[in-house]
Structure 1
């Protein structure tokens, strides 16, 4: 079969991590090609928080102004009970001493922002949509990627010096590299997620994280700077409800199933906030999404030779620490740095994995602990306490990177890279 295209690096997956990798590789003088299975990249999904570590990297790619227009700077995490009483507050972003803010933003709008930057800087041919990678083989001096053209049903081959799998939690290429990985781990929690436009959000630029003594949790925050300019606010909300026993997740899960408000409301019948009506907030969402809350155990290795993993394909974790997108962006930047600075591709990918695998493994485990404590914060019914939350957030900051560590860290922009 004839090879249809060659590039320095083929990146499988046009999500946040894959597109950031393309921008970072291009800035370092390395030609990337992104293969995305979806026929069209559309602004799907709900809210995401970008920690200062990710905002720093997007700023070095020249995207800070665009990000600030899209998102809302989060200044505090407020941990509360089901009556809205504050148990513990934690400053975030610049309010916590970081040189960069934390932004809450719509995931789909962030993805389109990155896509626009890729097309503008690399050209429209840098992203091939409707192409699903199905296999790969290493050759003497590179990698050949076998793919399916979802529009024609035909087969395509792509050659590159390196292959980066950024194809998410259901990564096809991860499964090829780790055939014995087993099923996803479910913590017994079902998440319902939605986005609702309202007149106001009383907590302002705070992220609200509330829980009751049944381990049911509710999270809400603003995600749109453009909505605020219109005098409105776009609120991302997440409901996390224990619905089963933790364990391996079966293969019959419909990951695109819409959620039903009738399934959600009974779990919040006794909740009362003075700043919002939860049933109304849920009902006014354009759509409700339903997902199991899952992760995987950290891997003993990511890739081999000229093939590696990035983002959720490498280290899927619970959303408890609001860190998934951030870690994918950092992966992308570290990957480009080592490929630009390393003496050879194989050594560069090994150095990238050595730097990122231990760090992300620690965050996956910290996410589990954050989830455990966050949904079980009451010593007894009616007697909530914020002490355990404060302890676990301190431990999480150490795992994810405290302000002084990030502020003094050297740039991940490799020498000779294009500055934008």
Structure 2
């Protein structure tokens, strides 16, 4: 039987992770990315140990460790900075792989560089936007258009994977009546700024409650002992019309300061971070409802195209990487491509559908909302507000549902390493 050939629509974290995984598995993949010249844009992202394990098994662990920060602790606090819950993360929690906080654009650059080296430039085609597809017998025909010239080309392969984000053209064709993403009536402001380390320099802090909260963590060492620090503000905006989803929409810092000017804590002066930030970006909090299927014959979805979720618990990018590894394993262990895509769907979709809904309810951050409701003016002892048992139940329930518990990550078999082999990198 001839080797499978895979069209990957989308060259983001999920699409490039899939291309690298397919290459490791001996399967030819070709990436089609709508952007002509992918740039290292964005701000921070957290890679969970489960995802770092997979990228390490792709040979990228050292590169990630060099340019990111090994996160060792997560602190949940109330809106006046009092500690609600603290837990070790990554290596400090007993994982065999670290949790890495990293600049999204730099992660993208690592993946893109590795993909170009391994599968060849001819198999990464930029400026190619997917318009439609059709399945014919034992193949899929995908129609792409050039963003500049408008010219079209049709490509054919055994499988099409839609890794083309929350506005996926593949998802739109299989769910034509779905409509626009679901707006949660919250907005996010994000930036990255060079700053002095706070706490131990390796801690993620989430402070506040459902309607107003901040997330702060370092993502890279810079000169003079400072750290490039990623921060996010999230707040409810009842009645506001949905903003366009533009990751590069800038906002004046005065708008953010007016909402968070009092968020000064003994361990962090948050308004100063806002004031020093060179650029602040604004976008709406959106996701999509879970769907009953990802795979349709020889076509499937991956990453944000399959499970666009709210950015709670640092899951979206990490889960896209796990999608890619799971799909590649299904393709090498299942002879029939259609059956392989069904297997991938059955393994990943139920967990991700559950995670979408959990994230809408704040995931592990739900403890912060309980504390706000019970002690809005602060507390003398956290034990008087919420019990250790209740805290642990909230946090551990999310970790288990997301496959993040130490036992699962450390001791499950590798997806691909045992069967990895190398094939020529010429385009199909």
TM, length-normalised to structure 2? 0.90
Q: Which runs of 5+ in 1 are unaligned?
A: 1-5
Q: Identify the range of structure 1 (165-174 vs 368-377) with the bigger mean alpha-carbon deviation.
A: 368-377
Q: Which residue number corresponds to residue 233 of structure 2?
A: 239
Q: Which residue number corresponds to residue 282 of structure 1?
A: 274
Do the aligned residues in 2 keep the contact of 1:35 with 1:127 (CA within 8 Å)? Answer: yes
Q: Which residue number corresponds to residue 223 of structure 1?
A: 219
SS at match of 1:43: coil
Do the aligned residues in 1 keep the contact of 2:33 with 2:127 (CA within 8 Å)? Answer: yes
1:284-323 paired onto structure 2 within 5 Å: 284-323=276-315
Deviations 1:217-242 (A, max 9, x none): 011001014x2x75220000000111
SS at match of 1:319: coil
* Equivalent residue in structure 1 for 2:116, among 98, 119, 134: 119
Distance (whole Å) between structure 1 residues aligned to residue 106 and residue 257 of structure 2: 29
| Match status 1:413 vs 2:416 | yes
Distance (whole Å) between structure 2 residues aligned to residue 49 and residue 373 of structure 1: 19
Deviations 1:35-62 (A, max 9, x none): 0111111110010001111011011111
> What's the CA shift for 1:398?
1.3
Deviations 1:169-192 (A, max 9, x none): 111211111112233222221110
Deviations 1:198-250 (A, max 9, x none): 233334211000005x831011001014x2x752200000001111259xx75
SS at match of 1:320: coil
| Match status 1:397 vs 2:376 | no
Do the aligned residues in 2 keep the contact of 1:216 with 1:375 (CA within 8 Å)? Answer: no
Do the aligned residues in 2 keep the contact of 1:373 with 1:389 (CA within 8 Å)? Answer: no
Deviations 1:147-195 (A, max 9, x none): 1111322111111110000011111211111112233222221110000
Deviations 1:368-388 (A, max 9, x none): 222572562311421454556
Distance (whole Å) between structure 1 residues aligned to residue 118 and residue 166 of structure 2: 28
Distance (whole Å) between structure 2 residues aligned to residue 286 and residue 265 of structure 1: 14
* Equivalent residue in structure 2 for 1:181, among 178, 181, 189: 178
Do the aligned residues in 1 keep the contact of 2:264 with 2:271 (CA within 8 Å)? Answer: no
Distance (whole Å) between structure 2 residues aligned to residue 124 and residue 346 of structure 1: 28
> What's the CA shift for 1:125?
1.2
Q: Which residue number corresponds to residue 3 of structure 1?
A: none
> What's the CA shift for 1:251?
8.0
SS at match of 1:180: coil
SS at match of 2:284: strand
Distance (whole Å) between structure 2 residues aligned to residue 416 and residue 76 of structure 1: 35
SS at match of 1:224: strand
1:373-384 paired onto structure 2 within 5 Å: 373=366, 376=369, 377-378=371-372, 379-383=374-378
Q: Identify the range of structure 1 (162-171 vs 409-418) with the bigger mean alpha-carbon deviation.
A: 409-418
Distance (whole Å) between structure 2 residues aligned to residue 206 and residue 251 of structure 1: 31
Do the aligned residues in 2 keep the contact of 1:296 with 1:316 (CA within 8 Å)? Answer: yes
Distance (whole Å) between structure 1 residues aligned to residue 320 and residue 356 of structure 2: 13
| Match status 1:164 vs 2:161 | yes
In structure 2, do the counterparts of structure 1 residues 31 and 251 end up closer, same or farther at CA, with 3 Å as the change threshold? same
SS at match of 1:302: coil
Distance (whole Å) between structure 2 residues aligned to residue 109 and residue 176 of structure 1: 32
Q: Which residue number corresponds to residue 8 of structure 2?
A: 11
Q: Identify the range of structure 1 (109-118 vs 387-396) with the bigger mean alpha-carbon deviation.
A: 387-396
Distance (whole Å) between structure 1 residues aligned to residue 360 and residue 239 of structure 2: 16
In structure 2, do the counterparts of structure 1 residues 199 and 20 end up closer, same or farther at CA, with 3 Å as the change threshold? same
Distance (whole Å) between structure 2 residues aligned to residue 7 and residue 260 of structure 1: 50
Q: Which residue number corresponds to residue 207 of structure 2?
A: 210
Q: Which runs of 5+ in 2 are unaligned?
A: 380-384, 423-428
Q: Which residue number corresponds to residue 340 of structure 2?
A: 348
Q: Which residue number corresponds to residue 94 of structure 2?
A: 97
Distance (whole Å) between structure 2 residues aligned to residue 258 and residue 374 of structure 1: 31
